[in-house]
């Protein structure tokens, strides 16, 4: 049986509960796709990307929490390896959704900067985890 630290177990439990939020985003996306919510082509594309990133990154983030338990990383490195992807799972979808908000928007607003920050955190998390796993 897989033994998790208390921190990993609680983190995984909280993240599992966030799937309900992602599900509500799917409901919103369904309303956009069926024309019940008005959106430009740009907004539809960004809403789809935000929803997809949320689902994929939460799933990958849960895997990272588990794999991080198999490393000898400590302190901030362990935190980054186990939760970097989860932080990116917030930043990237937020960047897509927030930069597309506003009636009739055709181009992203300043919130698009969250995409670069999220991508950097994602890369830092997976590289740290990868190195930690290789080192043992």
pLDDT of 8 strictly over 70: yes
Write out the H or E segment, with its range, that includes residue 113.
Answer: helix 113-135
Reading the block at residue 35, the tokens are 């024309």
Q: What is the structure's pLDDT at 42?
A: 97
Q: What is the mean pLDDT of the chain?
A: 95
pTM strictly above 0.85: yes
Q: What percent of the chain has pLDDT over 70?
A: 99
Q: How confident is the model at residue 1 (pLDDT cuts 50, 70, 90)?
A: low
pLDDT tens string 24-82: 989 999 999 999 999 999 999 999 999 999 999 999 999 999 999 999 999 999 999 99
CA 124 → CA 28, 81, 94, 116, distances in Å?
31, 8, 19, 12
**Nearest to residue 100, comparing CAs of 50, 54, 31?**
50
């Amino acid at each position: 049986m897989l033994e998790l630290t208390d921190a990993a177990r609680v983190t995984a439990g909280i993240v599992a509960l966030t799937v309900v939020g992602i599900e509500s985003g799917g409901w919103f996306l369904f309303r956009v796709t069926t024309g019940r919510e008005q959106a430009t082509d740009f907004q539809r594309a960004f809403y789809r990307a935000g929803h997809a990133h949320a689902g994929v990154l939460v799933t990958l983030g849960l895997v990272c929490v588990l794999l991080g338990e198999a490393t000898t990383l400590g302190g901030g490195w362990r935190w980054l390896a186990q939760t970097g992807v989860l932080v990116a799972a917030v930043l990237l979808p937020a960047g897509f959704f927030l930069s597309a908000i506003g009636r009739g928007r055709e181009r992203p607003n300043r919130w698009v900067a969250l995409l670069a920050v999220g991508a950097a955190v994602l890369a830092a998390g997976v590289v740290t985890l990868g190195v930690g796993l290789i080192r043992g």
